[in-house]
Amino acid sequence: MQTLPLAGIRVLDLTQIFQGPYASFLMAMAGADVVKVEPPGGERMRQGSGANTTLSFATLNSNKKSLTLDLKHPRGKELLKSMAAQADVLLENFAAGTMDRLGLGWEVMRAINPRLVYGSATGYGLTGPDRDLLAMDHTIQAASGIMSITGEAGGPPARAGGTPCDIMGGIHLYAGVLQALLGRNRTGQGTLVEVAMVEAMYFTLTSDFAAYHRTGALPERRGDKTPANTAPYGRYRCKDGWIALICVSEDQWTRILEVVGRTDLAGNPDYAGREKRHARESEINAMIEAWSAKLSRDEAFAAMRKNRVPVAPIRNLEDVRNDPHMHARGTLRRMQHPDMGEIVLPRAPIRLSDYACAEVAFFPEAGANGAEVLRDWLGLSAAEIAELEKDRVI
C-alpha cells in the first residue's frame, strides 16, 4: 500500500455550504492537507458547535483542519496571502467577483504564487451574461432544465430530491483541480480552474436532449421514466412500498414474464422488441403491478433480482443509511461522535486498490487547528498567535 495519492498537497479551503466543501472533502480523503479557512465564528452551515452542528457540516468536512480568519481585516488578508504562497491549491465558491473585491482574487494570488491552482465554483461561471445571477442548488435545478422534466405528467415542475447541482459542481471542481495539478507536473505553473453548476448539470439531461432531437417534441414530465421508447420501465407498487425496474433486452423481458407468471406471452411477436412493448406500456405495467401488489417490496425485489432483472427497491433514507452493502464495503460507517452521538458518515466514493483508504476523522470545531496551522505553515510564535486572537483576526 502506498501513502494516499494527494499526500503532500496543501489546500487552502475557503469554500462553504455544499458545493465547494464536497471538493475539499474529496481532497482531504485522498490525503491532501486541507485547511478550512472560516470566518470567525465558523461557516454558516455549522449552525452551532458540538451537538448542535448540522449533520450536513459533519458529512462534508471530515478530515479537514479549521483556521478562523477575518478576511476583511488587513492582517487577515496578509495571513491568507502568506499561506497562499505556500499552498498548492486554493478553493473558493463565493459569488463571482467576491474574492476580487476582497483583494484576494486569482490575479493577486497568482502573482504571489505562480504554482498555485486556484479553483472557483459558482452557479454560472466567471464570465457571460448570467455571471452575477445569485445561485443555489434550487435555482440551478430550474435554470439547468432538470426541474422541467421532474414531476408527474400534468403536474407542476418539481425539484429532484437532494442537492444534485451542488454536488455535481463540487465533484467537477475536484476533477478540475486534479487536472490542473497534472498539468502543473509538466509545466510548473498553476492555473485558474472554473466550474459552473449550470454547465455541470447539462450532461445529466443527455438522454432527454436526444429524445427532443429525435422527436422534435419537448420531453414532458413523467415521474416513472425518461422519454425512452422502452417498456417495461418504471415504478411498481407493492403492498408496503415500491420497486423500480427497467427492461432493455429480450432476455430481460422473458425473465420478467417468468417472475410474474406470464410465460404465455414469451415469444409472442406482439410483445417482441422495445417499440412494440412501448406501444403496450399501460397493459404491461398493469400486468406487473397485478403481480407486485400482492407482495412486499422486498419480496418483489428479491424475486426479480433472483431472475436477473435490473431492479431495485425504492429505498427511503433509513434504508440507505443502514444499507448493508455500503456498510460492508466500508463506505458508510456508524461512528460515535463525542457531542453528536451516533452518526453515519461516508468515506469518499472513489477507491484506489493500491492506496490506503483514509479513515474518517470527525470535522474540526471552528478554529480548532488555528494555532497549529499558523505555526506549521508560517512559523508564527505562540505570542504572535495570541495577539492575533486578541485582535480578533483569527
Could you list the active site residues? 166
Q: Which is nearer to a second copy, 68 or 252 (CB)?
A: 252
- Cα separation, 284 vs 224, whole angstroms: 14
Q: Among candidates 364, 372, 367, 380, which has minimal Cα distance to 78?
A: 380
Grouping H, G, I as helix, E, B as strand and the rest as coil, residue 97 is: coil
Give the position of cell 417495461.
Answer: 232
Q: For residue 191, give every residue at least 6 positions away whose Cβ sits within 8 Å of its Cβ, in sequence order, or none.
A: 117, 118, 180, 183, 184
Measured from the CB atom, is 143 or 393 closer to a second copy?
A: 143
Closest separation in Å from C-beta 229 to a second copy: 10
Q: Does 160 bind a second copy (CB under 8 A)?
A: yes
Give the type of residue at 106. Answer: W
Kindly write down the DSSP assignment for every residue of 127-171, as one continuous string.
Answer: SSTTTTS---HHHHHHHHSTGGGSS-TTS---PPSS-HHHHHHHH
**24 vs 374 by CB, closer to a second copy:** 24
The residue from 85, 133, 265, 302 that contacts a second copy (CB under 8 A) is 133
215 binds a second copy (CB under 8 A): no
Residues numbered 219 to 238 that lie near a second copy (CB under 8 A) are: 219, 221-226, 233, 235, 237
Which residue's CB is nearer to a second copy, number 188 or number 379?
188
Please name the residue that has the C-alpha cell 412486499.
296
Residue 342 β-bridge partners: 336
Beta bridge partners of 119: 91, 193
Taking CB under 8 A as the criterion, which residues in 286-305 touch a second copy? 305
Span from 71-79, 132-140, 288-296, 373-381 in contact with a second copy (CB under 8 A): 132-140
Out of 80, 91, 96, 200, point to the residue binding a second copy (CB under 8 A): 200
Under rule CB under 8 A, which residues in 56-95 are in contact with a second copy? 56, 59-60
Residue 49 interacts with a second copy (CB under 8 A): yes or no? no
Q: Residues 313 to 372: which contact a second copy by CB under 8 A?
A: 313-321, 324-326, 328-329, 331-332, 343-344, 346, 349-355
Contact criterion met (CB below 8 Å) for 4 and 27: no
Residue 261 makes contact with a second copy by CB under 8 A: no
Tell me which of 42, 76, 164, 370 binds a second copy, using CB under 8 A.
164
Least distance (Å) from a second copy to the CB of residue 273? 13
Q: State the minimum distance, in angstroms, from the CB of residue 174 to a second copy.
A: 5
Nearest distance from residue 377's CB to a second copy, in Å?
A: 22
Record the cell numbers describing residue 119, joined without a space: 479553483
Count of residues interacting with a second copy (CB under 8 A): 138
In the complex, least distance from residue 100 CB atom to a second copy, rounded to whole angstroms: 14
338: Cα separation from own chain's centroid: 26
Contact 159, 147 (CB under 8 A): yes
Minimum distance from residue 198 beta carbon to a second copy (Å): 7
Nearer to a second copy, 286 or 317 (CB): 317
For residue 80, give Cα distances in angstroms to 11, 69, 177: 12, 8, 20
Torsion of CA 91, 94, 96, 101, to 10 degrees: -100
For the bound state, the minimum distance from the C-beta of residue 20 to a second copy, rounded and expressed in Å, comes to 13
173 vs 380 by CB, closer to a second copy: 173
Specify the DSSP class assigned to residue 236: E
What span, in angstroms and rounded, lies between the C-alpha atoms of 224 and 153? 9
